Amino acid sequence: MLLIVGTVRLPSANLERARPAMRAMVQASRAEAGCLEYSYGEDVLEPGLIHVKELWSDQPALDAHFASSHIQAWRAAWPALGIGDRNLRAYEVGSPRST
């Protein structure tokens, strides 16, 4: 499995305009084969900081995600929304366990 975690930033004034695009991205990604989890969350202390968490079954599923039309539309929206700072990392992980 592949775990993607990190953040993206946008001007807090653009959050309301960004929500429909983020919602569409999350919903389309969750519907993809191999997507086990996909979420964006606003930081409670830093307006405009969005936390990203994705869990994919394998690299081919992630590759298909990167080639999808909805990720192309999401990336095309970045300039207008002021998204420029992205800090995402991919990790290979094993089976989950309760803590």
Beta bridge partners of 92: 2
Inside any domain, residue 27: yes
Inside any domain, residue 45: yes
Inside any domain, residue 98: no
Domain that holds residue 74: 2-90
pLDDT at 13: 96
Inside any domain, residue 99: no
pLDDT at 91: 97
Inside any domain, residue 82: yes
Mean pLDDT by 10 residues, the chain (99 residues): 97 96 97 98 96 97 97 94 94 89
Inside any domain, residue 96: no
| Number of domains comprising the chain | 1
Which one, of 1, 50, 46, lies nearest residue 21 by Cα? Answer: 50
pLDDT at 22: 95
Which one, of 52, 58, 5, 48, lies nearest residue 26 by Cα? Answer: 52
* pTM greater than the 0.85 cutoff: yes
